[in-house]
């Protein structure tokens, strides 16, 4: 089975801290995604990566950056955490775009609270 693992299930950080959310997948997928999920707003794409060291902004990239140094790992970085970044963060991966029918596989989510 495909496995997407996020490093933490729950995280509490202070305002202004630099925060790293890690995501690892074990199926050699080219595409990886970071979303945040807020009540009433659904899943909003922050960044996605289609290859090592390649990334594209999603719909709400402000205040975030990403890193993909290895194919299996995609990190989301909050450069200076703020309270409005308190949210559920979901990582997903999927194979190359040539297989449109393949769904994305999700991690269990990280609930981040910034105080």
Partner 1 sequence: AQKITQTQPGMFVQEKEAVTLDCTYDTSDPSYGLFWYKQPSSGEMIFLIYQGSYDQQNATEGRYSLNFQKARKSANLVISASQLGDSAMYFCATRFITGANSKLTFGKGITLSVRP
77 binds partner 1 (CB under 8 A): no
Name the residue among 82, 89, 84, 92 with its Cα closest to residue 112. 89
25 binds partner 1 (CB under 8 A): no
Q: Which is nearer to partner 1, 40 or 84 (CB)?
A: 40
Q: Site for partner 1 (CB under 8 A): which residue of 34, 48, 64, 89?
A: 48
Distance in angstroms (rounded) separating the CA atoms of residues 92 and 47 = 11
* 73-78, strands of its sheet edge to edge: 4-6, 19-25, 73-78, 64-70
Q: Site for partner 1 (CB under 8 A): which residue of 7, 8, 22, 45?
A: 45
Query: Taking the C-alpha atoms of 85, 56, 77 and 40 in order, what is their torsion angle to the nearest 10 degrees?
Result: 20
Minimum CB distance to partner 1, residue 43 (Å): 4
Residues interacting with partner 1, by CB under 8 A?
Answer: 31, 33, 35, 40-45, 48, 50, 56, 58-59, 88, 90, 92, 94, 97, 100-101, 103-106, 108-109
């Amino acid at each position: 089975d495909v496995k997407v693992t996020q490093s933490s299930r729950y995280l509490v950080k202070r305002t202004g801290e630099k925060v790293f959310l890690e995501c690892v997948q074990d199926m050699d997928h080219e595409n990886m995604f970071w979303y945040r999920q807020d009540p009433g707003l659904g899943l909003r794409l922050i960044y996605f990566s289609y290859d090592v060291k390649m990334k594209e902004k999603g719909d709400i990239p402000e205040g975030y950056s990403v890193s993909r140094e290895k194919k299996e790992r995609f990190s989301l970085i909050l450069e200076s955490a703020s309270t409005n970044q308190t949210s559920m963060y979901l990582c997903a991966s999927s194979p190359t775009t040539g297989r449109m029918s393949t769904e994305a596989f999700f991690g269990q989510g990280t609930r981040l609270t910034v105080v």
